[in-house]
Amino acid sequence: MASPTPPPKVRASSVPDPTRSGGASGQHPGFAAVLDPLPIPAAVVTRADEVPLVVLANPAFIERQLMPGDACELDRKLLAELISVASRNDSGKARRPWTSVDPVKTRRYDVTAARIELAGLEWPHFLVSLIDRTSEIETHDSFRRETMRDSLTGLPNRAGFEDIVETRLAEQGTDGRPAAPGFAIITLDIARFSQINECAGGVVGDELIITVARRLMGRVRKTDVIARIGGDEFAVFVPLRGTNERELSRIITRIRDIFVNPYRLSDLEIQIDGAIGIALSKPGLSDCANYIRQSQIALKRAKRTRQAEIYTPEELDKARRRFTLETELRKAIELDRLELYFQPLIDMSNGFVTGFEALARWKDPDYGMISPVEFIPVAEECGLIVPLGRWALDRACKVLNEWDARAGEVLPIKVSVNVSAAQFARDDIPNMVASILRANKTRPERLCLELTESVVVSDPARAAKVMSALRALNVSLAMDDFGTGYSNLAYLQQLPIDVLKIDRSFVTHMLKERDKVAIVRAILSLASALGMETTAEGIETLEIAQTLAALGCSFGQGYFYSRPVPADEAYDYMITRMG
Ligand code: C2E
Ligand code: MG
Ligand code: MG
């Protein structure tokens, strides 16, 4: 054995302390000089038969009760490891984090061992110092907790949810298998939340969110995780024992139940409903964000179908198509690849053409003909409806000019252009209309704008203001798809509406269903009472045209007269049917 016998263990302080220092043999006089200037707990340590030995410690080390045998003794194993690593390292240093199991307060330290280079030392000694990182780590942890938490409900937020779920998915049971062999991620959205928020105020909205959160917490199991991942959107992680449909449907029913009883908020009692989307786990896939996305896609469908929906991969295809549509539509608008078709509006009293509705068409080189029913909602969602709507109005005015030039006179016809609710909300419609009319030298009397009821429902006061401004320009206004929205008849008489367009769902098959005739009659008499004209959409047969004329409907539009056609064809149609 080559190693010399180390000194015996001593309890020592660099500050002379008769009770603790006790004049150790083998102590180098330089140790005190090393320890003295240190304000942090530090000790000189050496190794005896592979066992670490504290040779001298400073007062801070002793006060913190880090000495061997003391309450918070510095972990011997850790010390041994530090010394062994530091002896092998070129730098002569090693560092490890360590948590002291203090009976009063758990402390988190960074412990460093650094070899002491002093002349006359017979065997290696190390300066072991401890930096207390407790408050730093606590601050960091609480900050992290805060950023992972929704302050309103106290639930995890989206980031927190992903963090917890991914940790849970990585956990293994005692048998080494994943702790959650199957699971579902459920997203839940409160129906009409923004309306409630707007009408009843933000405080009530907050109260509703908190109450929903509370009810949810009462319904889920201990193993489930709930989070608030968006304004009125919650997510629930539900571990499943297997692909057990009954288990899932029981859970869904329990979640659904939170909407059974009305919500009492301040002095209101509201019955609310929610939509539920579900994504089921696939073996080997544990990306939480991806499951949330899938579940949200199913949620979108659930909002339409009003029942809980499970995500299917085809839906992703649809979502992807929507995304490609958005990119392609942007290109189509920029490259002027959209076309405007025209469908005649017929005066029911004499069969003459009085105008045309301009309808956008998109022929994509890859996708072929894409219906406005598909691309207008995409345009509305991504904001492209604003340039699209401006383009449609401008193009309609230009076509009117072309027709006038061809006929050699100002034709006695109007053009109707659709303005979607999203466009109405985002664009400065009166100014936009005025400037396009001015640019094309189009008389405002020749333009009718078709608005939908949703324009009025979402913000009645603003709608009234914008509509009056349009009326002041001398543009006429039609209420499109009338009868399909949340018609509040009270607003009708207050707004400057010239024409009610009866939605084609009431018209096309009206002769087969008595209810529909009754609705059409009601709309016609309402319009007449309010001094408005009427256009029936979706006239496909002569019988319907005759019935509507007999009922007193002013104008008709539909495949019976003509489908929407390109501008040239529309011109020819008009010339043969003009009064
Ligand atoms: P809308 O404004 O209610 O237009 C009438 C729709 O009914 C048109 O569909 C038209 O082709 C269709 N239609 C007309 N007569 C008949 C018929 O007899 N039978 C049947 N089954 N359908 C008939 P289209 O062209 O597919 O447009 C659908 C919707 O897309 C329009 O409904 C309108 O809301 C929107 N849209 C079209 N172009 C534009 C546009 O330039 N801007 C905006 N904001 N929306 C547009
Ligand atoms: Mg229309
Ligand atoms: Mg319509």
The DSSP output letter for 365 is: T
Q: How far is the CA of 477 from the centre of ligand 2 (A)?
A: 11
Q: How far is the CA of 364 from the centre of ligand 2 (A)?
A: 22
With a cut of 90, say whether residue 22 has pLDDT above it.
no
- HEC string for 96-137: EEEEECCCCCCEEEEEEEEECCCCCCCCCEEEEEEEECHHHH
- HEC string for 396-417: HHHHHHHHHHHHCCCCCCEEEE
In tens, the pLDDT along 465-489 reads: 999 999 999 999 999 988 877 666 7
Q: Which tokens hold the place of 109?
A: 């330290």
SS3 225: strand
Single-letter amino acid code for the residue at 515: D
Distance CA 398, CA 417 (A): 13
Residues 340 and 569 sit within 8 Å (Cβ to Cβ): no
Q: How confident is residue 368, by pLDDT bands cut at 50, 70 and 90?
A: confident
State mean pLDDT over 280-307. Answer: 87
With a cut of 70, say whether residue 93 has pLDDT above it.
yes
| Ligand 1 site-directed mutation target among 386, 420, 427, 537, most atoms within 8 Å of CB | 537
Q: Which tokens hold the place of 466?
A: 């914008």
372 lines ligand 1 (CB under 6 A): yes
Main-chain phi, psi angles of 480, to 5 degrees: -80, 160
In tens, the pLDDT along 47-92 reads: 887 889 999 999 999 999 999 999 899 999 999 999 999 999 899 9
Residues 455 and 424 sit within 8 Å (Cβ to Cβ): yes
Q: Please, what are the domains in the chain? A: 13-137 (3.30.450.20), 148-311 (3.30.70.270), 336-577 (3.20.20.450)
- In this structure, which residue's CA is closest to atom 15 in ligand 1? 558
55 lines ligand 1 (CB under 6 A): no
CA angle 24, 27, 28 (to 5 degrees): 155
Q: 78 or 325: which carries more pLDDT confidence?
A: 78
In tens, the pLDDT along 382-400 reads: 899 999 999 999 999 999 9
In tens, the pLDDT along 419-429 reads: 999 999 999 99
Task: Specify the ligand 1 atom closest to the Cα of 559.
Answer: 18
With a cut of 60, say whether residue 506 has pLDDT above it.
yes
CA angle 258, 251, 163 (to 5 degrees): 95
- The pLDDT, as a whole number, for residue 116 is 92
Q: 320 or 233: which carries more pLDDT confidence?
A: 233
Q: How far is the CA of 503 from the centre of ligand 2 (A)?
A: 9
Q: How far is the CA of 502 from the centre of ligand 3 (A)?
A: 7
Q: Which of 26-30, 150-154, 431-435, 461-465 has the lowest mean pLDDT?
A: 26-30
State mean pLDDT over 11-26. Answer: 39
- In this structure, which residue's CA is closest to atom 8 in ligand 1? 359
373 lines ligand 1 (CB under 6 A): yes
Give one word for 570, left, alpha or beta, with left for phi > 0 and alpha for psi -120 to 50: alpha
In tens, the pLDDT along 158-199 reads: 999 999 998 888 876 556 566 557 889 999 999 888 888 887
Measured CA distances, 105 to 72, 102, 377, 546 (Å): 10, 5, 59, 90
The DSSP output letter for 172 is: B
Q: pLDDT exceeding 90 applies to what percent of the chain?
A: 55
In tens, the pLDDT along 142-151 reads: 888 888 899 8
SS3 535: strand
Distance CA 256, CA 471 (A): 47
pTM of the complete model? 0.56
Distance CA 33, CA 127 (A): 12
β-sheet bridge partners, residue 360: 340
Q: How confident is residue 19, by pLDDT bands cut at 50, 70 and 90?
A: very low
